Amino acid sequence: MKTIIVTGASSGIGRATAELFLNTGWIVGLLARSADKLDEIAQRHPKAIALAADVTDPVAVARAFRTFSNRADRLDALFNNAGIFAPGGTIDEIALEDWYQSVNVNLNGMFLCAREAFRIMRHQSPQGGRIINNGSIAAYVPRTNSVHYSATKHAITGLTRSLSLDGRDFGIACGQIDIGNARTQMVQGLVDSALAAGQQPDPTMDVEDAARSVLHMASLPPEANVQFMTVMATTMPYIGRG
């Protein structure tokens, strides 16, 4: 039976992905800060393991991964998904606390989770596993007024490449999924902001389409890896928007 930890599992892309994996028969570790939301999912799915933790807390992250490894016996995959989109603006308008929080969650949090997953996958038997980082279209072409978000997502691409290289000797594959405008609460906030400003919001897509893409990446045999995947609303301005 396959196993995966999904971070940011209490809402948005993380929750949709976790639910899909559970419905497909995987054992799923649900990692997020909202214990009540995780417990609600776990009550409906006997193969779910609630792991309440803040991804920016190294001790809590290590404890969550250790708990999952002890209960599930092994870790086949990590969907490294947790992230935030802090209030936007030009660089001189962005509050320093929003910059630091963005770096702490979007970069440090993903580093800490990848670190624990890599450690488990390296030492389990049979050795190996797969780490899937949630990048973003912003990892390549930013939106306006999003220097904090874009900078952290560009950094995730470097994390993905480094993990792919360092994991080769241990059977650990790493790939990145770059998702454009899946309908989540975060994206809805951008849509609402555009409408409030009298602008036409970007097209969106069903969050389930993003979840199915993660499932495809995670379900590949060990000898195959999706290094980078872009899945997006068909008519959103990506090609040519930069």
What does the angle CA 144 – CA 146 – CA 147 come to, to the nearest 5 degrees?
110
- 100 carries an active-site annotation: no
Roughly what angle, to the nearest 10 degrees, separates helices 110-123 and 58-72?
A: 40
Cα distance between residue 140 and residue 150, in whole Å: 8
- Nearest of 64, 91, 83, 184 to residue 138 by alpha carbon: 83
- Nearest of 13, 60, 107 to residue 99 by alpha carbon: 107
The identity of residue 43, as a single letter, is Q
The identity of residue 205, as a single letter, is M
For residue 82, the 8-state DSSP code is -
Catalytic residue among 100, 140, 149, 238: 149
Token pair 């980082």: residue: 133
Catalytic (active-site) positions:
149
